[in-house]
Structures are given as structure tokens and as C-alpha cells.
Amino acid sequence: MIEDRDYTLIIDKSNSMSVPDKNGKSRWLAAQESTLAVARKCEELDPDGITVYLFAGQFRRYDNVTATKVEQIFQENSPSGGSMLAAVLGDALNNYFQRKAAGQTKPNGETFLVITDGTPDDRKAVMELIIDASQRIDRDEELAISFIQVGTDPEATKFLKALDDQMQSVGAKFDIVDTVTMNDMQGMNLTDVLINAITD
């Protein structure tokens, strides 16, 4: 399952990511530690590394990220700004479909892991992107988008649950979204949750 698949991490760096959670560690630091763990895990299977995006009002893409590169990426960035998810998700999905057309994707497709703590400012556009992507794939397993909520914003939970449960009723061909909220984590830390999402 985990072999022959590409992994892309999309990490929220909006202002609220600097907020400390219950254990006193900021969401940003938790995201860094988890990204490192995921990069290590994926490297065992895919020496090319993973793709990492950081987004707030704008986004940046980093290709072929190995464990050694993670620290540098997090040093270059710090939380600020809003949460515009559609642009970054659109870029990641377009990139996948361009590579697919060129025969450069892995046989088992790709998993996108989105780490976010709030509701994006462009909800409708995010939903449209997911519906569109689901209509462009041949089988359910080809694309997976996992939204992992850090923090306990109830609005964000509601939106992410809707992405998980309601997309097929509004036109998605396949259910390609999976959501993990703080409540679902039940004491697991972000690193465990991400590794589970990869090996699931």
C-alpha cells in the first residue's frame, strides 16, 4: 500500500499555528516534528523524498524533501497570515495530473496530507477542487486527501467532516477525503496520526 506511492504534505502556516496546544508545544513545532517523522518514514520506501507545501495567504512548494531538509524549511518560514487552502491544493492536484499525463506518477497514486488548524478562507473553492479531482481519476485508491486538524476549532471540525462525509452527495465521483480531528486522535500525537495515514 505504502510502496510505489507519492506523498505530499501541505502544512498550514497561518498565524494561529503559533498557538501552543495543551502540552505547551506550538502547533508549528508539532508540525515540524511530524514532518520530520513522515519524511524519514517515506525515505525508507522512496529515496526521492516527499513534496512539502507551506501555505497561509501565499504558498511555497518544496520538492524532494528528505529528513535532512525539513529543519531548514521550518527555519525559513514562520506562522503568519490567513489560510488560503484552495490555491495550494489546486497547485498540488494540478501537479499530480500533469505528472500523470506525462507518465511520471507512481503506480499506486498519491496521498496528500493537509495539516491545518482552522477553516480555510475559501471553503467553496476547496470543495470544487476535490469534486473535480475525484472526477479525473480512474479508481478510488488513486488519490487520497487526508485533512488532519490540529487544535480544536469547532468550525474547522465541521467543515472537515463535511469534506469527509458529504462530497459524494454534491458530485464527487469517489470519496477521496479522509479527516482526522483532535477528538479522533484520542491521545495520539500528530506524528502517530500522520504515520497511520501513510501506512493505512
Q: In what order do the strands lie in the sheet with 143-149?
A: 59-65, 50-55, 6-12, 110-116, 143-149, 177-180
In a domain, 59, yes or no: yes
What's the CATH code of the domain at 45?
A: 3.40.50.410
Enumerate the H helices of 13-139 as residue ranges.
Answer: 27-45, 67-76, 85-101, 123-135
List, for the chain, all residue ranges whose pLDDT scores fall below the cut of 70: 1-2, 200
In a domain, 114, yes or no: no
In a domain, 126, yes or no: yes
CA–CA distances in Å: residue 193 to residues 3, 9, 18, 87, 180: 18, 13, 20, 25, 8
In a domain, 56, yes or no: yes
pLDDT of residue 182: 73
Number of domains, the chain = 1
b/e map 94-127, b = 16+ CB within 10 Å: ebbeeebeeeebeeebbbbbbbbbbbbebeebbb
pLDDT of residue 1: 53
Domain span holding position 33: 5-109+121-180+188-199
In a domain, 60, yes or no: yes
In a domain, 15, yes or no: yes
pLDDT of residue 200: 67
pLDDT of residue 162: 93
In a domain, 115, yes or no: no
pLDDT of residue 193: 85
